[in-house]
Structure 1
Amino acid sequence: MSYRIINGKPYAIENLSALNSNHSQNLNKSNKNIQGNFKNYLDNEINKNDSFTVSAHAGERIKSLNLNSRDFEKINEGFNMAEKKGSKNTVILYKDIAFIASVENRTLITAIEKQRSKDNIFTNIDSLVIL
């Protein structure tokens, strides 16, 4: 009787045909799973530049600002511009509003109107985007 060592385990040559068919079935299942996971990952990466998250704090402040969908598109452009330059945390100036944003997380942290921004200091900011 002859044996073959596969992944450190001895298998009888007579049993290899059954082992190969089981192995190829397992590979087909895992390949389909990998392809599905990759497609989900790719779709998420493609759509990532089309959206951002608004924190609860920013959401409360934005309610009174009467922003429309075009305004949010412009803010998203600000995220994309900052991301292209390698920014991590930025201030996006749009109209008379300063939006503090985490570019890494694509999250709008807060919004400050011009009237409220007196005597405020923005720290841990590495860029400024003026729209």
Structure 2
Amino acid sequence: MIMDDRQYMSIGQVQDQFLNPKTPKVGKENNSLPTGENSFASVLNKIKDGADNINSEGAVKFSKHAMNRLSMRNIELTQDQMQRLSHGREEAMEKGIKDSLILVDQLAFIVNVPSSTVVTAMDQTENKSNVFTNIDGAVIA
């Protein structure tokens, strides 16, 4: 076994280095975390604020699966239907529903309420059995 002369820091030394940083000396580069517009915290807050804005407005987004279902079944939503779907999601959220069946006209949507995501969509005439699973509430919008 070959040993080299490298010296490794102990766990205590590593903790001290990151948990108790010393004031940078003159002439030394400051290795502190970035702050300001491009810092991780700033970017994270912008993303969070954007998500909050979407949820507060009641807008829904469609999963890739739901988009494929809409396309495959030639379902096109009007602006009024989109607003009613979003309103249905808001009502489901107010009632504490996590996964909801939302009916809009002859269309049925399974929506994950906390993420405001339509998981799947179908025309009610296509669902011959009229059985929906893995939901904990339904809204007729």
Q: Same fold (TM over 0.5)?
A: yes
1:72 Cα shift? 0.9
2:118 is matched with which residue: 99, 107, 120?
107
1:22 is matched with which residue: 27, 30, 33?
30
Give the partner amino acid of 1:52.
K
State which drifts further: 116-125 or 89-98.
116-125
- How many residues matched? 116
Counterpart of 1:68?
A: 78
Asked whether the equivalents of residues 101 and 107 of structure 1 are also in contact (C-alpha less than 8 Å), the reply is yes
Matches within 5 A, 1:1-131: 8=16, 17-18=25-26, 22=30, 26-27=32-33, 29-32=34-37, 33=39, 34-48=41-55, 49-54=58-63, 55=66, 56-61=68-73, 63-64=74-75, 66-105=76-115, 106-113=117-124, 115-131=125-141
Structure 2 unpaired stretches of 5+: 1-12
Aligned-pair Cα RMSD in Å = 3.1
1:20 Cα shift? 8.9
Asked whether the equivalents of residues 111 and 119 of structure 2 are also in contact (C-alpha less than 8 Å), the reply is yes
Structure 1 unpaired stretches of 5+: none
| CA deviation string 1:70-89 (max 9, x = no partner) | 21111111112212222122
Q: Provide closer, same or farther for how the CA distance between residues 58 and 88 of structure 1 changes in structure 2, counting only shifts above 3 A.
A: farther
Give the partner amino acid of 1:100.
I
Identity rate, percent:
22
TM-score, structure 2 as length reference = 0.63
TM-score, structure 1 as length reference = 0.67
Asked whether the equivalents of residues 102 and 140 of structure 2 are also in contact (C-alpha less than 8 Å), the reply is yes
